[in-house]
A and B are shown apart, each in its own frame.
Chain A
Amino acid sequence: MRITELFDNGEFVVTAEVGPPKGIHVDHLVEEAKEHLSGITAVNVTDNQSSVMRMGSLPTCVLLKNAGLTPILQLTCRDRNRIALQSELLGAAALGIDNILCLTGDHTRMGDHPGAKPVFDLDSVSLLHTVCQLEKGVDLAGNPLVGEAPKFAKGAVVSPCSDSVDAQLAKMERKVMAGAEYFQTQAVFDSEKFIQFMEQAKQFGKPVQLGVIIPKSAGMAKFMNKNVAGVHVPQWMIDELAADKEKAKAGITGVELAAKVIKECRPYCQGLHIMALGWEAKVPELLKLAGI
């Protein structure tokens, strides 16, 4: 099932994100996903997230699909050139993976193999364009594909709380031009900022899923403010997380804060994308509290 069909039906689409392990045992990941994420629409599988080498996104997607979930294949341009990316897309289609999220990817310097060659032959925009070509039955060089062309729900990301919001909006427009059909956002903690962003982003007419992280502690919030692009946790949230350490540790404060953001932003977006970062077990509770 392509999640674009759900957006078209006016459904509020909820997705969450899982990261493949650095190893070959995925039973735990699949079990956790089955237990906590079965109630949501689809599950993103990251692609060597933060440039840290792990098992591939595609095989993990297939395992999740076999377990009855709907996976979204994340595809970055950091590790593969245009030949490898197209090849991966054809493989995904053949294996029944028809939801994708196209990203440029973090620089290799950010991860655990800083000496690796950063590829970036394509970027998020030209990758979306490439997918559209494949859907038309030709590859990026114009050579015809044999048989039926693949068809994907083509997603992309945008950073509403970035301090370069104009550049982000310009890039979002280029992604739409290149074929993006839905957007997932970087984590939002400041509803005001998100609502302002959506005022501008709605002109592109594409569904946007609000990105949410459940904040685990004041320390984590400060760390993200300092190091994570496009993320800003307001001081009052940090104070609240610091006020009752036990409550924060149990995840109660984080779930409350995230639920508040979701409730405030819900009228302005078309879905929700949860980056649980190990707190998958809290997702059902979060959705309940947010009234979804």
Chain B
Amino acid sequence: MLLTKFKGKEALIPQLKGKVFLVTCHGCKEVNLSGAEHEAELLFNEALASQHINGLLTADYICNPEYLQARFERFADQVREADTILVFSCGVGVQTIADAFPNKRVIAANDTYPLPGFQGVTPLEHDCKQCGQCYLNLTGGICPITACSKSLINGQCGGAKNGKCEVDPNMECGWERIQKKLAQIGRLDALKCPVQLRDYSVDAKSE
């Protein structure tokens, strides 16, 4: 199970470039601690006035790529026009959208935390370890915690060979993927962010 918590407007506003399309997922609504939908609507209403936001899609289980495509069909024009897609969902949902729209700036609005109990039933290609400090906005929507064998958050180690991870020659190096993705979406500046440190004391209850 998981919880999501809004990163806060101050953290997100600088991330939003150009026209913004909003996506909110209520697949796991009952565990949505932040009331993200409500916040999303607030941000939506507020931003409508400034005409930055050009559409809102509310769906469930956006982590399912097939579902996702069907849901987005109706919004094809808005999405095409949008520069940024701001996603209120868990880490898997954001990664799925970042994958589906490789040329958009896909931004995670939430941090994802674990919640004791059963594990979500999402046997999909993307994985979220619910680290509580979602890094997807710095990594082009590829999760460094699950895509890198060492869960490195400050860049590639020296172990990649032929683009594969030192631990598993069948696994693509996560940081090689991140580097390519950031280059593709013109966001290599994200690599100039301050030194990142994990905080293992965070949980959904901490402020």
Chain A contacts to B: CB under 8 angstroms: 103-104, 106-107, 109-110, 118, 120-126, 129, 140, 157-159, 162-164, 166-168, 170-171, 173-174, 177-178, 186, 227-230
Contacts and interface: CB of A to CB of B under 8 A. Distances in A.
Contact of B154 (A109, A158, A166, A174): A174
B149 interface: yes
Contacts of A125: 154-155, 195
Closest 6 pairs between A and B when the two form their complex, measured CB to CB: A125-B154, A171-B155, A167-B156, A167-B179, A129-B195, A229-B161
Contacts of A107: 149-150, 159, 166-167
B74 interface: no
Determine the main DSSP class of A at the interface with B: mixed
B158 A177 contact: no
A162 B157 contact: no
Interface of B: 149-163, 166-167, 173, 175-176, 178-179, 183, 188, 191-192, 195-198, 200
A211 to B, nearest CB: 11
Nearest to A231: B161
Contacts of A126: 154, 195-197
A104 B159 CA distance: 10
A263 B131 CA distance: 49
A107 B188 CA distance: 27
B154 A123 contact: yes
B154 A162 contact: no
B175 to A, nearest CB: 6
Nearest to B182: A170
A103 B152 CA distance: 12
A170 B198 contact: no
Contacts of B150: 104, 107, 118, 120, 123
A167 B188 contact: no
Contact of A106 (B152, B159, B188, B191): B159
Contacts of A168: 156, 158
A124 to B, nearest CB: 8
Contacts of B196: 126
Contact of B157 (A104, A122, A178): A104
A123 B158 contact: no
A164 B156 CA distance: 9
B187 to A, nearest CB: 12
A167 B149 CA distance: 16
B153 to A, nearest CB: 7
Contact of A123 (B152, B160, B191): B152
B149 A164 contact: no
Contacts of A170: 155-156, 179, 188, 191
A163 B161 contact: yes
Contacts of B163: 163-164
B23 to A, nearest CB: 29
A207 to B, nearest CB: 19
Contacts of A120: 150-152
Contacts of A164: 156, 160, 163, 173, 175-176, 179
A174 B191 contact: yes
Contacts of A163: 160-163
Most chain A CB neighbours (cut-off 10 Å) among B156, B158, B166, B197: B158
A206 B166 CA distance: 27
Contacts of B198: 121
A208 to B, nearest CB: 15
